Amino acid sequence: MSWTNLAWNGRILVVDDAMENIQILHHALRDEHEVLFALDGARALEMAQSQKPDLILLDAVMPGMDGYQVCAALRANPALQDIPVIFVTALTQPEDETRALEAGAVDFISKPFNVAVVRARVRSQLTIKRQADAMRELSRTDSLTGVANRRSFNHTLEAEWRRCARAGLPLSVIMIDIDHFKLYNDHYGHQAGDICLQQVGAAMSACAARPQDMLARYGGEEFVLLLPQEAAGGAAVVAQRVLDTIRRLKIPHAGSPTSAYVTASLGVHTMLPPFENSDSDALIRQADQQMYRAKQSGRDRVCV
């Protein structure tokens, strides 16, 4: 990483149909930020998608898609709606500003602008964006293990359920419950139990290989793995990998009546399209039932 990289505070996309305006903003911001640019609205949306800027400085009047349309399109796209937009425009009327804020802009700067003011406003929006990102991340994460929490899991499960139903794709779930964990706490203490949960969580994270896979802490010593687009055979392979991964950790469990080391019981269930007459609760329930079957038949195993 070069020193200029270290000096970057944010990645900013400047959108303007006049190269001259882009150059002025580039000059104003380049010492503090990485500055990208687009000369029209369609290109701006492409770059927002591929470059994931932290902030967009958007011209209002452009041929083709104007700034208001670009802003509305950003707000309508779940992957892009959190990128803040500041209008930088020759328009000066209160109606123009109101319209920009109503389209979802966070700020409105009229030209001619003062460079120091633009820098300050950019900094302040980046700070707000960072805080919002951190809050969002926190609200999705289990604080002990760092994997997704149940709330975040439920949200993703609903979204993947709809997506897989629409696309006619299978959806698999693996429920994972640590064996005799009450006895682990009794023997080693609650703090050691916490560390064990962290170790197991971290090891299992590596088992969810594809970007759409999601590991979450479902509650207490129970985890769940969501595998969109994974049929029964593939899900069983992943479950076996999780089981082996936990075994290989060889975390001593002297209090366990079934094994010298920490183990888990896993239940797998796959929903095949069409998903009619079913819901995501049923998917979880079925995986849970398989997990209990694994418990009853001796623990430290996978039931499908």
Scanning the structure block, which residue is given the tokens 């990998």? 241
What distance in Å separates the CA atoms of residue 142 and residue 152, rounded to the nearest whole number?
9
Q: How far is the CB of 176 from ligand GH3 (least distance, A)?
A: 11
Which residue of 162, 166, 182, 210 would you call a contact of ligand GH3, by CB under 6 A? 182
Residue 180 is a binding residue for ligand GH3 (CB under 6 A): yes
Q: Choosing from 221, 222, 230, 276, which is the catalytic residue?
A: 221
Q: Active site includes 158?
A: no
Determine the 3-state secondary structure of 18 from DSSP: coil
Binding-site partner at residue 295 among ligand GH3, Mg ion, none, CB < 5 to 8 Å by type: ligand GH3
> Long-range contacts made by residues 114-120, C-beta under 8 angstroms, separation at least 24?
115/28, 118/25, 118/28, 118/29, 118/88, 119/28, 119/29, 119/32
- CB nearer to ligand GH3: pick between 33 and 217: 217
Told to check if 66 binds Mg ion by CB under 5 A, we report: no
Tokens at 132, concatenated: 């919002």
Smallest separation (angstroms) from ligand GH3 to the CB of 137: 20
Should residue 40 be labelled a site residue for Mg ion when binding is judged by CB under 5 A?
no
Stretch that binds ligand GH3, among 24-32, 129-137, 163-171, 173-181 (CB under 6 A): 173-181
3-class DSSP state for residue 13?
Answer: strand
Question: Helices then strands (H, E): number in the chain?
Answer: 11, 10
Smaller CB separation from Mg ion, 181 or 275: 181
**Binding ligand GH3 by CB under 6 A: which of 82, 137, 194, 279?**
194
Closest approach, Cβ 184 to ligand GH3, in A, equals 7
The answer to whether residue 59 forms part of the interface with Mg ion (CB under 5 A) is: yes
How far is CA 56 from each of CA 13, 83, 138, 179, rounded to the nearest angstrom? Answer: 5, 7, 25, 50
Q: For the chain, how many residues are written?
A: 304
Residue pair 275/266 in contact (Cβ under 8 Å)? The answer is no
CA angle 227/268/161 to nearest 5° reads 40
Does 293 participate in binding ligand GH3 (rule CB under 6 A)?
no
Q: Among ligand GH3, Mg ion, none, what does residue 17 contact (CB within 5–8 Å per kind)?
A: Mg ion
300: contact with Mg ion by CB under 5 A? no
Number of residue whose CB is nearest ligand GH3 = 193
Q: Say if CB 198 and CB 300 are below 8 A apart.
A: no
Question: Does residue 17 belong to the site contacting Mg ion (CB under 5 A)?
Answer: yes
- Which chain residues interact with ligand GH3 by CB under 6 A? 144, 177-183, 185, 190, 193-194, 197, 220-221, 295, 299
Give the active site residues: 221
